[in-house]
């Protein structure tokens, strides 16, 4: 395991030699059903990588392998390699909780805890041992600011998070993920339950955040993928059919199947 303070020095920003995630020949089985088939992907730091593909093709499954959230699914097995900053996250000595601290996840349905706004954000830092009130206050404010929702929520920090609108809840969840100071943010259809204005805010936010974080986003919205992402991966039936720069994938796809999907001929 790499100590976080070392890591930041060793893998400086934009280090072309080592991608943030290096995925090789990744197979994943739910029982006997193979949900991912030999997936290879390099995910670069400080970029937004979009994952697209028809329903059931394995996008969420793939995303979960990156922070090992698939561990809690009974009967789920994987083989192949997933490296984060060069270290195999499925290797024996890996601390899963520390991994998930480094790789944050935002879910399709906003899932704030039934607690106050403040407690939602402070939950992660507290979990990882931050006790001082002043320090927690700082983290809450800076996380909400990063998620561009501080101004809306600063007067209702003590109010229940469940009383917020769906869009506010989702940005709260992003702030909650940022509060543990991750370096990767995984987002599974984060805007599918939101109206266009909230969606726009989250897209803007993602653009802003990619300066400091690596972002992987699953989306069913082609325009969204085209708008915000640097790289796009197209999945079909568990296979990564095409992966490359978003412009190339959308303007000149190498694969007929990709073109058919993007232009809406199936899926």
Partner 1 sequence: MTFSAFKETAMKVVFAVTAAVFILCVIVICVFIFARSVPAIGEIGLFEFLFSTEWAPNNTPASYGIGTMIVGTCFVTAGALVIGVPIGLLMAAFMARYCPKPLYKVMKPMTNILAGIPSIVYGYFGMMVIAPLIRDNFGGTGYSILTASIVLGIMILPTVIGVSESALRALPNTYYEGALALGATHEHAVFMTEFPAARSGILTSVVLGLGRVVGETMAVVMIVGNSTALPDSLLDGVRTMTSHIVLELGYATDLHRGALIATAAVLFVFILFINLLIVAIRRKGRAK
* Closest residue by Cα to residue 212 from 48, 65, 3: 48
Quick check: 58 binds ligand ATP (CB under 6 A)?
yes
The C-alpha torsion from 65 through 67 and 70 to 71, rounded to 10°, is 120
The C-alpha torsion from 244 through 250 and 252 to 258, rounded to 10°, is 80
**How many residues bind Mg ion, per CB under 5 A?**
1
Q: Coil, strand or helix: which one is 247?
A: helix
Binding mask 16-35 for ligand ATP (x = CB under 6 A): --------------x--x-x
Q: How far apart are CA 139 and CA 179, in angstroms?
A: 6
Q: List Cα–Cα distances, 98 to 44, 67, 69, 103, 183, in angstroms.
A: 21, 10, 13, 9, 12
Q: Which residues in the 116-135 window bind partner 1 by CB under 8 A?
A: 123-124, 127-128
Question: Residue with CB nearest Mg ion?
Answer: 60
Binding residue for ligand ATP, selected from 41, 50, 60, 209, defined by CB under 6 A: 60
Identity of the residue, 165 or 223, whose beta carbon is nearer to partner 1 in the bound complex: 165
Residue 55 touches which of partner 1, ligand ATP, Mg ion, none (Cβ within 5-8 Å per kind)? ligand ATP
Contact window for Mg ion (CB under 5 A) among 14-22, 52-60, 130-138, 176-184: 52-60
Quick check: 107 binds partner 1 (CB under 8 A)?
yes
Quick check: 177 binds partner 1 (CB under 8 A)?
yes
Quick check: 232 binds ligand ATP (CB under 6 A)?
no
Q: How far apart are CA 109 and CA 190, in angstroms?
A: 7
Check if the beta carbon of residue 82 is closer than 8 Å to that of residue 21: yes
Q: How far apart are CA 170 and CA 194, in angstroms?
A: 9
Binding mask 191-230 for partner 1 (x = CB under 8 A): ----------------------------------------
Quick check: 199 binds Mg ion (CB under 5 A)?
no
Residues that bind ligand ATP (CB under 6 A): 30, 33, 35, 53, 55-61, 73
């Amino acid at each position: 395991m790499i100590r976080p303070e070392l890591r930041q020095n060793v893998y400086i920003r934009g280090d072309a030699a080592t991608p943030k995630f290096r995925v090789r020949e990744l197979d994943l089985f739910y029982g006997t059903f193979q949900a991912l088939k030999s997936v290879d992907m390099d995910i670069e730091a400080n970029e937004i990588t979009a994952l697209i593909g028809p329903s059931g093709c394995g996008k969420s499954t793939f995303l979960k392998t990156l922070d090992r959230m698939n561990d809690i699914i009974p009967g789920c097995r994987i083989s192949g390699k997933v490296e984060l900053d060069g270290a195999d996250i499925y290797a024996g000595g890996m601390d899963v909780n520390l991994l998930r601290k480094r790789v944050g996840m935002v879910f399709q349905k906003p899932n704030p805890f039934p607690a106050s706004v403040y407690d939602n954000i402070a939950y992660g830092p507290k979990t990882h041992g931050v006790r001082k009130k002043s320090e927690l206050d700082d983290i809450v404010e800076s996380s909400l600011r990063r998620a561009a929702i501080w101004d809306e929520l600063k007067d209702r920090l003590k109010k229940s998070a469940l009383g917020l609108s769906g869009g506010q809840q989702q940005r709260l969840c992003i702030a909650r993920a940022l509060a543990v100071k991750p370096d990767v943010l995984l987002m599974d259809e984060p805007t599918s339950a939101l109206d266009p204005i909230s969606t726009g805010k989250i897209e803007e936010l993602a653009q802003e955040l990619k300066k400091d974080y690596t972002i992987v986003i699953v989306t069913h919205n082609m325009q969204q993928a085209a708008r915000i992402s640097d790289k796009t991966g197209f999945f079909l039936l568990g296979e990564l059919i095409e992966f490359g720069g978003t412009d190339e994938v959308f303007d000149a796809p190498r694969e007929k199947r990709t073109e058919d999907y993007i232009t809406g001929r199936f899926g």
